[in-house]
Amino acid sequence: MLDVVEKLLIVDNNGTAGTAICDVLVDAGYGCTTVSNALEARQQLAEHAFALIICDVASSNGDAMNLVADVLSGHTSLAAIIVTELDAEGAIESARAHGAYGCITRPFAPGQVLFVVSNALYRRQLELEIQSMRAQNDALDFTGSDRVLSAEQETIQRLCRAAEFRDNETAQHIQRMSEYSALVAKLAGMSRYEVEVMRAASPMHDVGKIGVPDSILFKPGKLTDEEFELMKLHTQIGYRILSGSESELLQMGARIALSHHEKFDGSGYPNGLATDAIPVEGRIVAIADVFDALTTKRCYKEAFSVEKSVSIMSEGRAKHFDPQLLDLFIDNLDTALEIKASLPDTDNSNN
């Protein structure tokens, strides 16, 4: 059961899906109110405080996306989830564009409902904490100090743990790529402060996966073209979560989230940036993330040898990776291997 009862609003005019979802959530300790149309939903939102609204696209007479937009524009402390068919044309992508925090896809199991709802509520909590942190920093007028970095660490670490929970990446992966990123930043001549911001910001590269549908994020086989387009949205979702802050740490995190899948030759995503148009932080994290992915065991592959991994990355020189930054990393490979040895995966990692 939940320590604090979160109040949820469910919009469903045929009653079947809404009742089933409500039963699952009530059994888990949530408080639920069910309404049958958008007008009743707006009345409830005006009169009561809710943490989350769940809106069934199929049964909302076309007003689901307007409701989602209302939630985020007029009720800034709320999160929104849609219920839709997995193959509903454009519904999931449209919901993401309107700012929905997650999707429950029919037919759904109780575990899916609880998983999507708990992640949406956790993301909402983190965003509210980030907003509070921004306000505190603005009030204190701290700029560029170690004290500001320290004050932000708990929220950032919790945000990164949420991303880990939503993916198959391990805590050790996050730590290693953070250290690899700091190493390259230092080799590239960044100041001590910039290196520390890089170390703290780089783990936020995949926070946007919080908003990727479970059916795509955890699909065991190859993604379809349509599914991959939705997966690629994690870069923009992460940027939206982190952007708009006065914090240098969150600003860098936002740039990294948006740009770490760009490629030096312009063939990456989401914006097809090339060369120096890609923020240097994104170019650094691309190297750190790929090196760790290649050299460690994943559920879908064995670890490649260091030699093979370096060979693969060298083939991507000036294509995938910034050639100068890649050369710095490879020239200092011994230091990277010391980092790797100091942060080994546990026995149950990547299973």
Q: 160: Cβ–Cβ under 8 A, 6 or more apart, which residues? A: 174, 203, 204, 207
Residues labelled as active-site residues: 209
Residue 215 CA to residue 147 CA, distance in Å, equals: 41
DSSP for 74-107, written as a single string: H-TT-EEEEEEETT-TTHHHHHHHTT--EEEEES
- β-pair type (7-11, 102-106): unpaired
CA atoms within 13 A on the CB side of 110: 9
Under 8 Å between Cβ of 11 and 38: yes
C-alpha dihedral (124, 129, 131, 135), degrees to nearest 10: 160
Counting beta carbons within 10 angstroms of the beta carbon of residue 5, is it exposed (0 to 12), middle (13 to 18) or buried (19 or more)?
exposed
List the strands of the sheet with 31-35, edge to edge.
31-35, 7-11, 52-56, 79-85, 102-106
Strand segments, DSSP code E, in 12-164 are 31-35, 52-56, 79-85, 102-106
Question: What distances in angstroms separate CA 304 from CA 22, 240, 312, 350, one per listed residue?
Answer: 47, 34, 10, 15
Q: How many residues does the chain have?
A: 351
